[in-house]
Amino acid sequence: MNSEERVQSLINELAHEVLSYIKSQEPSYKDRWVPASHIKNSLNLNFVAVPRENIQYGAKGWLFAILARILEDNGQVEYKKVDTRAYYRSM
């Protein structure tokens, strides 16, 4: 396996771990819609994504957004937004 294949494999493995976590949390929420903020905070998926010399105001959920989009593109999660809140549930 070359480096590109290994990186893609690890990213997909992360996405599937997030999916497993979403599934484990669904029973605790109405209609199984798990808040994105709960997922990001519980899995500690907020990171600063710019070089130290640049300015970013706090950690952001960019990694979670990428993983959730992979799951969404694969038809494994649904997404909905209510006001400013995002929610996910497994398909």
pLDDT at 6: 97
Sign of CA dihedral 28, 29, 35, 37: negative
pTM of the predicted protein model: 0.89
pLDDT in tens, 17-59: 999 999 999 999 999 999 999 999 999 998 887 788 887 778 8
pLDDT at 61: 86
Rounded to a whole number, what is the distance in angstroms from the first to the last CA of the chain?
Answer: 31
Question: Cβ atoms within 10 A of the Cβ of 25, count?
Answer: 18
